[in-house]
Amino acid sequence: MIVDTDTGSDDAVALLLAAASGLGDIRAVTTVAGNVPVDIGTRNALISLQIAGRTDIPVHPGCARPLTRALSSAQHVHGQDGMGDIGLPEPAAACQKSHAVEALLAYPREHPGELTLVTLAPLTNVAAALICDPELFSRYRHVYCMAGAADLRGNISPTAEFNVWADPEAARIVAQAATPETVTWVGWDASRKDAVMTPTDQQRLQQLNTPMATFAHRINRTVADWARDVTGLAGYDLPDPAAMAVALKPELITELESAHVDISVAADTRGQMIIDRRVTAPAPNLTLVRRISETGFKELLFATVATPVVEAAPAGAGAAS
């Protein structure tokens, strides 16, 4: 698996799932500007992998701003540092020198058809990679994106979801290159309905008292305030962990549809999904996950963060001599 992320607090929980659930095998993480500027997101990805005991996973820093627009971050949601401003120490590992876009192009060429790409962020890196290699999606086993709001109930605007809104031109490039067989979007609608951490869930997380559970609980502090004040959910939602859970365990999906989707780049509907469900619609280009099993998702989350962290051997160690 390759994970593209603008690591803020929910991306961090998704990285724990990918690195420590035992269901995934992350080969690399690529970062992009979104929730926070890309250097901060890269730092947060390194910290999250360290908490999961996986300092061996390479992290490639990527695009510092959307394709055509200035960066509008979500630091008002995830904190100035993207991680709830709880004063996390600097990571032990350093990031790679090679760029995220190069990594997104290179890994599937080395392992054609074997890797799953999971995107948790604005689609800038992926769109740039697609411009270099229009056949990119066919080189991955599958591509899962935390993207969009198929019921048009937005979180960053009345009708748009943040990752698509932040770089709608990139999202449009991705949608236009996608087919339902190659690309699945897990939207904010599924997260809002099936991945909300209620006060009882938050208490359970806190009481687990393991390093990963405590980390997951503390970094989502500012998102909890924002969810209460803005989206009005019964707790904070975990969109990126929901998308990661689907990628790791597709049997969690309880409702999906294939549809023809375009993305609005107009000022007043920026980032809104334009879904054509008419009989006359063009052929579907995306699979949309509309609901997941809330119980199955939360079981996976609690089981993962409850485990003690086992440090992975540094890259190269243990190789036969």
Contact flag: residue 272 with ligand BDR (CB under 6 A):
no
Contact flag: residue 11 with Ca ion (CB under 5 A):
yes
Are 44 and 78 within 8 A, CB to CB?
no
Nearer to Ca ion, 161 or 240 (CB): 240
Contact flag: residue 188 with ligand BDR (CB under 6 A):
yes
Question: How many residues at the interface with ligand BDR, by CB under 6 A?
Answer: 16
> Look-up: residue for tokens 């991306």?
11
Contact flag: residue 237 with Ca ion (CB under 5 A):
no
Q: Which residues contact 197 (CB under 8 A, 6 or more apart)?
A: 205, 220, 224, 235, 236, 237, 238
The interface partner of residue 144, options being Ca ion, ligand BDR, none and the CB cut-off 5 to 8 Å by kind, is none
Say how many C-beta atoms besides its own lie within 10 A of residue 166's C-beta: 29
Subset of 61-80 contacting ligand BDR (CB under 6 A):
74, 77
Name the minimum Å distance from CB 120 to Ca ion. Answer: 4
Beta 142-146 vs 116-119: how paired, if at all?
A: parallel
Subset of 250-279 contacting Ca ion (CB under 5 A):
none
Name the minimum Å distance from CB 114 to ligand BDR. Answer: 25
Contact flag: residue 71 with Ca ion (CB under 5 A):
no
> Look-up: residue for tokens 């609608």?
189
Q: Which residues contact 76 (CB under 8 A, 6 or more apart)?
A: 226
Contact flag: residue 81 with ligand BDR (CB under 6 A):
no
> Look-up: residue for tokens 């593209």?
4
What value does the CA radius of gyration of the chain take, rounded to a whole number of Å? Answer: 18
Measured on CA atoms in the order 289, 285, 144, 37, is the torsion positive or negative? negative
> Look-up: residue for tokens 């937005």?
154
Answer for which of 144, 162, 236, 297 binds ligand BDR (CB under 6 A) is 162
Contact flag: residue 10 with ligand BDR (CB under 6 A):
yes
The SS3 assignment for 206 reads helix
Nearer to ligand BDR, 16 or 139 (CB): 16
Contact flag: residue 8 with ligand BDR (CB under 6 A):
yes
Answer for which of 120, 126, 145, 205 binds Ca ion (CB under 5 A) is 120
Closest CA to 154 of 230, 215, 243: 230
Nearer to ligand BDR, 173 or 219 (CB): 219
- For 254, the token pair is 């309880």
Answer for which of 120, 212, 227, 256 binds ligand BDR (CB under 6 A) is 120
- What does DSSP assign to residue 113? T
Name the minimum Å distance from CB 185 to ligand BDR. Answer: 12
- For ligand BDR, the nearest residue by Cβ is 162
Can you give the binding site for ligand BDR, defined by CB under 6 A? 8, 10-11, 35, 74, 77, 120-121, 146, 155, 161-163, 188, 239-240
